Amino acid sequence: MEQIAISRTINLNKPVYFRCKRGIDIIASVLLLLFLAPLLSVIALLIKLDSPGPVIFAQDRVGLKRTNGRRGKWELCTFTCYKFRTMQHNADSSLHRAFIQAFINDDDEGMAALNGEDTQTRKLVRDPRVTRVGRLLRNSSLDELPQLLNVLRGDMSLVGPRPPIPYEVDMYRNWHLRRLETIPGLTGVWQISARSEADFDQMVNLDIWYIEHQSLWLDLKILFKTPIVVLRGKGAV
C-alpha cells in the first residue's frame, strides 16, 4: 500500500477499544459473508447479465491503518476497496472528479449543472455511467456488501468515516483531513443522520464528532440504526 503524507500527527490512544472493535469486525464480517453468500451470488449473476465487465469494482481508497502489526504506527495508506460494479466497465472518472470538486467547494450551481437539474441531493443523481442493475444496487446500498472483505482484511471497520478516493483527498482543505484520523468504515454517523442531504463541511464535522466520541456503545447504536435508514431509502441515489 502507498503511504499518504498528511500534515497532522495521528494519535489513537484507545488500545482496548480498537482491539475490541477489531474482534467484532472479524466475527461480524465472517458471519455476514456466510449468511449473505446466496444474496451475493444472485447480485453477481444480475450484474453479469445486465452489462459486460467484471462483477467486482476495485478502486484505490485512503484509510488509516496500523503498519507493522500491533506495535507499529498508525499511518494513512491507500488500499484496494471492493464494491459490486454499478457502472459501465472502464467508465471515465472525469464526471465524478468534477462533481466531487463542486461538492467540496459547496458549489450548488456546479453540482446542478453536472446533474442536469437543481437538486437538494448532493450526489450525482443522473449519472449516465450507471447501469440498470447498478442503480438498484446503489438505491439499496447493496453495492457496498463486498467491502465486508475489506473489513475482514482490516482495511476498514464496520463503523467509521467512509474512505475517500485519493483525488478527493487532494482537494481537501487542511481541516478536512481530520476525518481521516480513524479507521474508515462501512457506515457511520453521516450515513444514519444526513447521507446525501448534507453538504461536505457538514459531513466532515459529523465524522470529526464521531472520531472525538467513538466508543463500542456508539458503534453498536450506529450499526443498529443503519438498516433502518437503508430500508427507508433516505438520501439514497
- Report the pLDDT value the prediction gives residue 8, as an integer from 0 to 100: 45
Q: Given this model, what pLDDT does residue 139 score?
A: 87
* Look-up of cell digits 456503545: 217
The residues facing 66 across adjacent strands are 74
Strand-strand pairing, 74-84 and 157-159? unpaired
CA distance 184 to 137: 21
Please report the pLDDT score of residue 123 as a whole number.
72
Quick one: how far is CA 59 from the chain centroid? 11
Helix (H/G/I), strand (E/B), else coil: 219 = helix
The Cα–Cα gap between 127 and 123 comes to 9
Which cell is 159 given? 463503523
DSSP 142-183: GGGTTHHHHHHHTS-EEESPPPPPHHHHTT--GGGGGGGSS-
- How far is it, in rounded angstroms, from Cα 19 to Cα 26? 11
Q: What phi and psi, each to the nearest 5 degrees, are found at residue 158?
A: -65, -35
Amino acid type, 203: M
| One-letter amino acid of 191 | Q
Nearest to 60 by CA among 104, 2, 146, 20: 2
Sorted by sequence, the CB contacts under 8 Å of residue 179 that are 6+ apart come out as 161, 203, 204, 207, 208, 211
Phi, psi of 199 (to 5 degrees): -80, 175
Amino acid 237: pLDDT? 40
- Which residue numbers in the chain have pLDDT < 50? 1, 5-9, 235-237
**Residues constituting the chain:** 237
- How many Å apart are CA 139 and CA 237, to the nearest integer? 5
